[in-house]
């Protein structure tokens, strides 16, 4: 996420978006337009960066605020109150524009064990912490802050490119999006260095323990058991700042939006052992063409866009909700800087089709889905939005 460049835009942008742009439905219906509507008009949040549900049939939503708070509330448009589920502001370093509490994932068996996982940055030393907490025995709307167990930590050389998303895959393992460590241009070459966790998607087994760690390495991880010094947690590498990842509930594909450097933003489908090119490539182009680049063994993005469309991609979700039939099966994503929201139809991988749905007048840091796979959009104006069809 390129907060350093565009964070200053937040306070000058409007607070809602209700006017459709006139773009056609990606499935070909010329009469369907889209607009955003405030999903919870009585609620407001402070820099929401993630939205999740617990998978416990409670009908609740959880919104992550960058400073270190998780709010919980009933998923009803008329909801007027939220509860603080977790407050770890004293543990979170959010002084940098890209630091803070960045991700939340509930254990697949949360309904029985009460475990959930967070991704946050801390200082002294500067590091990312993946930690497990447990819900209170007395109150389902409150976590027990004393139950924190650090699962995985790794140093952060700079205060940007932290990635931050957590997601449990259909295999039950925890996937962790990790940026290249920051600065600009990946000066340490972390994206192509398999001896560091930076610049990668990680995959760990949080239900196991081995080698003194509070997690285990899945035996089918691509570098499990290697003798070359590669980090066995790595599932895929060659990423700059994978800002938001998600699994398609139908195809089980893992999607990622990877923020570019100077020219291109990219969408990737993440697969085991694949190298997505950074910092050899930016999108499908050589990052520094004057020095040449070797593209052999690299996996190109399934879609990219340039600076005329936006400056910081926000990965989204393949739409599998019950409301927007016209978008079913399309990958919905946006751009934090421009506010544009697109639908990428990847049903024919050889000929993907990308359609702009609308341009919101707020910055888009994240998307989320509820238990019914209905899509939500986090706005840095403090609101949570949904897409709505406007039939003409």
- pLDDT tens for 141-176 read 999 999 999 999 999 999 999 999 999 999 999 999
Q: Considering the chain, what is the average pLDDT of its residues?
A: 92
Residue linked to tokens 């409301």: 323
Give CA–CA dist 186/354, Å, rounded. Answer: 29
Q: List all residues 6 or more positions away from 139 whose beta carbon is below 8 Å from its beta carbon.
A: none
Residue 297 has pLDDT above 80, yes or no: yes
Cα separation of the two ends of the chain: 36
Global pTM value = 0.93
State the fold for domain 3-8+45-318. Answer: Neuraminidase (2.120.10)
As a whole number of angstroms, the distance between CA 118 and CA 83 comes to 18
In angstroms, the CA 205 to CA 183 distance is 30
Q: What percent of the chain has pLDDT over 70?
A: 91
pLDDT higher than threshold 50 for residue 13: no
Work out the average pLDDT over 35-54: 98
Contacts of 334 by beta carbon, 8 Å cutoff, 6+ apart:
313, 314, 316, 340, 341, 342, 360, 364, 367, 377
Average pLDDT over residues 69-79: 98
Domain ranges in the chain are 3-8+45-318
What's the average model confidence in pLDDT over 259-268?
Answer: 97
Mean of the pLDDT values across residues 190-215? Answer: 98
pLDDT attached to residue 359 = 97
Give yes or no for residue 91 having a pLDDT over 60: yes
pLDDT beyond 70 at 275: yes
pLDDT band at 96 (very low <50, low <70, confident <90, very high): confident
Q: What is the pLDDT of residue 392?
A: 58
Report H helices in the chain.
Answer: 3-6, 110-113
Kindly tell me if the per-residue pLDDT of 15 is higher than 90: no
pLDDT in tens, 358-368: 999 999 999 99
User: Which pLDDT value is given to residue 291?
Assistant: 67
Q: What is the pLDDT of residues 341-353, one digit of tens each?
A: 999 999 999 999 9
């Amino acid at each position: 996420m390129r907060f350093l460049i565009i964070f200053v835009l937040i306070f000058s942008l409007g607070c809602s978006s209700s006017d459709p742009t006139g773009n056609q439905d990606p499935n070909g219906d010329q009469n369907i337009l889209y607009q955003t509507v405030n999903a919870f008009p009585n609620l407001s949040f402070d820099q929401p960066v993630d939205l999740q549900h617990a998978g416990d049939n409670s009908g609740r939503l959880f919104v992550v605020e960058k400073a270190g708070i998780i709010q919980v509330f009933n998923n009803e448009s008329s909801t007027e109150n939220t509860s603080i589920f977790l407050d770890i502001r004293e543990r979170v370093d959010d002084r940098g524009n890209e630091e803070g509490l960045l991700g939340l994932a509930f254990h697949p068996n949360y309904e029985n064990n009460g475990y959930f996982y967070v991704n946050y940055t801390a200082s002294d030393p500067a590091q990312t912490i993946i930690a497990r907490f447990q819900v209170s025995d007395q109150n389902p709307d409150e976590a027990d802050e004393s139950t924190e167990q650090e699962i995985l930590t790794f140093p952060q050389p700079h205060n940007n490119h932290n990635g931050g998303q957590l997601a449990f895959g259909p295999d039950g393992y925890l996937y962790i999006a990790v940026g290249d460590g920051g600065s600009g241009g990946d000066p340490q070459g972390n994206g192509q260095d398999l001896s560091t966790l930076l610049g990668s998607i990680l995959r760990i087994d949080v239900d196991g323990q081995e080698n003194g760690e509070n997690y285990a390495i899945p035996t089918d991880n691509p570098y499990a058991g290697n003798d070359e010094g590669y980090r066995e947690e790595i599932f895929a590498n060659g990423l700059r700042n994978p800002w938001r990842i998600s699994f398609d509930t139908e195809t089980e594909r893992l999607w990622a939006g990877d923020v570019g450097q100077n020219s291109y933003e990219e969408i990737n489908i993440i697969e085991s052992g694949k190298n997505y090119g950074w910092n050899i490539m930016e999108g499908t182009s050589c990052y520094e063409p004057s020095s040449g680049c070797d593209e052999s063994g690299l996996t190109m993005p399934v879609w990219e866009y340039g600076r005329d469309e936006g400056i910081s991609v926000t990965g989204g979700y393949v739409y599998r909700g019950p409301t927007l039939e016209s978008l079913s099966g399309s990958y919905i994503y946006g751009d934090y800087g421009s506010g544009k929201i697109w639908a990428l139809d990847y049903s024919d991988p050889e000929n993907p089709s990308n359609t702009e749905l609308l341009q919101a007048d707020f910055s888009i840091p994240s998307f989320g889905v509820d238990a019914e796979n209905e899509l939500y959009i986090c706005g840095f104006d403090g609101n949570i939005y949904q897409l709505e069809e406007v039939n003409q």
